[in-house]
A and B are shown apart, each in its own frame.
Chain A
Amino acid sequence: MPNGLAGTTLRINLSTGEIRRLPTDEALYRRWHGGRGITAKIIYDEVPRDADPLGPENLFIVNAGIMSGCYIPAGSKVEFGAVSPLTNGPGDSNMGGHFGPALKFAGYDMIIFEGVSAKPVYLFVDNEVVELRDASGYWGMKSLDCEKRLKEDLGEDFEIVTIGPAGENGVLFSCITHDFGRQAGRTGQGAVMGSKRLKAITVRGNKSLHVKDLESLRKQVTEIILRTQKHPNMVPWQKYGTAFFIRWSNDNAVIPAYNFQTTFYEDIDKIDGDQLVEKCLITHKACFGCWMNCGKFTKAVIPGKPEVHLEGPEYETGSLCGANLGMKDINHVAYINWLLDNLGMDSMSGGGVIAFAMECFERGLINPSDLEGHTLKWGSVDDVEHFLEMVAHRRGIGDWFAGGTKRAAAKIGRGSEKFAMQVKGQEMSGYDGRWAPGMLLSYMTADIGAHHNRSWTITVDMAEGREKVEDRAKIVVYLQHIRPLFDTWCICRLFWGELDITPEEIVESLNHITGWGVDVDEVLRTSEMIWNLNRCHYIERNRQNGRAFDYPPARAWEDKIPSGPGKGKGLSLLQIDQMLDEYYAARGWDKNGNPTRELLEDLGLGPAASNLEELGFLGKPSPGGIPPVRGEKYKPKAF
């Protein structure tokens, strides 16, 4: 049996119903390391550049990674990959829970879906049994309700991922839900699933996995486990989950409030981690192989509404659906979290879309007659509930917002593009970048749009100067290589990245599992290779110089922060450009943001260089050549 892998890849044609079992390509894993690395490679090679992301030519890939399920803590993740309908570029999203390991225990490393099913189906996997089953009885159900019903019908020991009505209806920021509260939210993977009429995947597996050196692995992780149990960072994660960050972000003036108008929220006491623990917490929840229990199973209790149960809010939802919407009650934030989860929409883009719509309403750009007689006022949970129903079912003006803030702003016009807080079509995470230049640069240059997880730099900005833009780019480049490795290997960054486990130790675990004998520099190069492949893919699909897609909305440079500790702070467009220039130089790209042939060939991506050249977007070589190493190693203060 291969090391770390289950051994079989499924290729399923939803148009014909054909299910093929193929031996997992180990050479592919050796080169691309799994997870988002493999999804990036496969969609680059197989999805035509003019394919409709919601059409039959797009692939929908489920990859359980190389380290997940392999006798290590927090080896829980699964990656989903497809061309994103939200960004029109390479997209991926992952989730914790138990699905990834279950898939491997059933015997499968990856499932590649192609085509479109004529009728709603779900994929049933029970060890050797793999079947496409009729999902007409589940189609139309909300995500959490659907998972519950499938567990009743199939058995509690099945691990299930589902989409909700939003994914079925093609809302471009639809998510995939699992374990009653884990989501793969970003880049609209739920919409791709829905476009294929794939309602759910259900998996049960009880095989074991083989690793190269189990003894050494056990010894190493035992030491890590014992050491990290006493790590001080465990305390806030275990008590609050990532909601711990809500107050921290406010104190440090990076929390988005009122659609990123300002970065300090006066009513933070009503919606922070303490409120979550005091008013909503039922119990703690963990993913596969992890005792950090950072998941918070909670209730939202609002007079006049039924009590609902959910997992969350996490930091991102807590901020983007909290201060960003002017909410003044943690129960309301939790309720909105539940609405988004159950309807099947990414709570990050969801929060961004609601906030954008609220600002449009405040400015009179949309009005009650657009909203079926309702308002959309800051802080109104009832208004949000009605609005989200319109969006999930693409009713009336809900159809405009179902495409995300960028498309909605294009329809609304009247200068609203300025405050559609997105890059490349994907909404920003819950940090404002005007007083955190590295964070803004991270949003601008992330391959999947304005997402923080590729490189999170708030503590870097605080350590190196919040108003200084010089020398930030090299650090962003390094973080963009090291952080996505967790998604490539399908292990959880909260455990492996926040408890002072070193990159060398993680690579040691990888080597014990796979026997590859790689070192940190080599895995960083692999990550850089994936990054550049995605950049080429984006440029090839969108047919403009890369730089054209790397600017934030004009609020980022036209509006200084109006209140709070960050009052008056902000960057100029010139400073934003300086950061981009530095970033491209640090990456070995040209001034137009296009990778050069020298760089791509150095990474073994010569054919991608030829593709760019044919389209006229190959980066022009610079006289000094590319930097020998791209990115400057930096250890940010972990949280």
Chain B
Amino acid sequence: MVIYLKAGGELRAKLKPDVDHYTRRVETEVGKSLAEILTGIGINPSFVAFAFKNGTLKRLDHIPSDGDIITLQPPVSGG
């Protein structure tokens, strides 16, 4: 199946977008979690704080469905 990952902030360069400026197309197996998918494309999940899909929070144990567009957000901890 295919999912699309978008990234904000410093994650964008790590993601290597290939559909447009923000979005990367990823082919993956059904049933894998976001953390597993990220590991599979060479992104350490510890660089991702959380994700969201359709405006709702998703944690990295979320298992996406075919065609999902999921935005990844980096940890942001300064003040």
User: Which A positions have Cβ atoms within 8 angstroms of B?
Assistant: 417-418, 547-548, 551, 553-554, 572-574, 577
Question: Hey, which chain A residues are within 8 Å of B50, CB to CB?
Answer: none
Question: Hey, which chain A residues are within 8 Å of B18, CB to CB?
Answer: 547-548
**Is A554 in contact with B2, judged by CB distance below 8 angstroms?**
no
Can you report 17 A-B residue pairs in the complex whose CB atoms are below 8 A from each other? A417-B20, A417-B21, A548-B18, A551-B19, A551-B20, A553-B20, A554-B20, A554-B23, A572-B67, A573-B23, A573-B67, A573-B69, A574-B2, A574-B4, A574-B66, A574-B67, A577-B2
**Is B19 in contact with A573, judged by CB distance below 8 angstroms?**
yes
Question: Hey, which chain A residues are within 8 Å of B23, CB to CB?
Answer: 554, 573
The digit string for B1-24, where 1 denotes a CB below 8 A from any CB of A, is: 010100000000000001111010
Does B32 lie at the interface of the complex (its beta carbon under 8 Å from any beta carbon of A)? no
Interface residues of B in 50-73 (CB under 8 A from A): 66-67, 69
Question: Hey, which chain B residues are within 8 Å of A548, CB to CB?
Answer: 18
CA distance A573 to B4 in the complex (A): 8
Which secondary structure dominates chain A's binding surface? Answer: helix
Question: Hey, which chain A residues are within 8 Å of B66, CB to CB?
Answer: 574
CA distance A554 to B21 in the complex (A): 10
User: Which B positions have Cβ atoms within 8 angstroms of A?
Assistant: 2, 4, 18-21, 23, 25, 66-67, 69
Contacts between chains A and B (CB distance < 8 A), count: 22
Question: Hey, which chain B residues are within 8 Å of A547, CB to CB?
Answer: 18
CA distance A418 to B21 in the complex (A): 9
CA distance A573 to B18 in the complex (A): 13
Q: What is the CB-to-nearest-CB distance from B11 to chain A, in angstroms, rounded to a whole number?
A: 17
The 9 lowest CB-CB distance pairs between A and B, nearest first, are A574-B67, A551-B19, A548-B18, A573-B4, A417-B21, A554-B20, A577-B2, A572-B67, A574-B2
Question: Hey, which chain A residues are within 8 Å of B4, CB to CB?
Answer: 573-574
CA distance A554 to B22 in the complex (A): 10
CA distance A418 to B20 in the complex (A): 9
Besides A418-B20, A574-B2, A574-B67, 19 other A-B contacts (C-beta < 8 A): A417-B20, A417-B21, A547-B18, A548-B18, A551-B19, A551-B20, A553-B20, A554-B20, A554-B23, A572-B67, A573-B4, A573-B19, A573-B23, A573-B67, A573-B69, A574-B4, A574-B66, A577-B2, A577-B25
Question: Hey, which chain A residues are within 8 Å of B2, CB to CB?
Answer: 574, 577
CA distance A574 to B3 in the complex (A): 8
Which residue from chain A places its CB closest to the CB of B69 in the assembled complex?
A573
Q: What is the CB-to-nearest-CB distance from B13 to chain A, in angstroms, rounded to a whole number?
A: 16
Question: Hey, which chain A residues are within 8 Å of B21, CB to CB?
Answer: 417
CA distance A548 to B17 in the complex (A): 9
* Most A Cβ at <10 Å: residue of B2, B4, B18, B19: B19
CA distance A547 to B66 in the complex (A): 20
Q: What is the CB-to-nearest-CB distance from B38 to chain A, in angstroms, rounded to a whole number?
A: 19
Q: What is the CB-to-nearest-CB distance from A486 to chain B, in angstroms, rounded to a whole number?
A: 33
Q: What is the CB-to-nearest-CB distance from B26 to chain A, in angstroms, rounded to a whole number?
A: 11
Which residue from chain B places its CB closest to the CB of A409 in the assembled complex?
B21
CA distance A547 to B18 in the complex (A): 8
CA distance A574 to B67 in the complex (A): 5
Question: Hey, which chain B residues are within 8 Å of A553, CB to CB?
Answer: 20
Question: Hey, which chain B residues are within 8 Å of A577, CB to CB?
Answer: 2, 25
Question: Hey, which chain A residues are within 8 Å of B67, CB to CB?
Answer: 572-574
CA distance A418 to B23 in the complex (A): 12
Which residue from chain A places its CB closest to the CB of B25 in the assembled complex?
A577
CA distance A417 to B18 in the complex (A): 14
* Most B Cβ at <10 Å: residue of A553, A574, A577: A574
CA distance A218 to B73 in the complex (A): 70
Q: What is the CB-to-nearest-CB distance from A570 to chain B, in angstroms, rounded to a whole number?
A: 13
CA distance A574 to B4 in the complex (A): 9
Q: What is the CB-to-nearest-CB distance from B40 to chain A, in angstroms, rounded to a whole number?
A: 17
Which residue from chain A places its CB closest to the CB of B19 in the assembled complex?
A551
* Most B Cβ at <10 Å: residue of A547, A551, A573: A573
CA distance A22 to B11 in the complex (A): 57
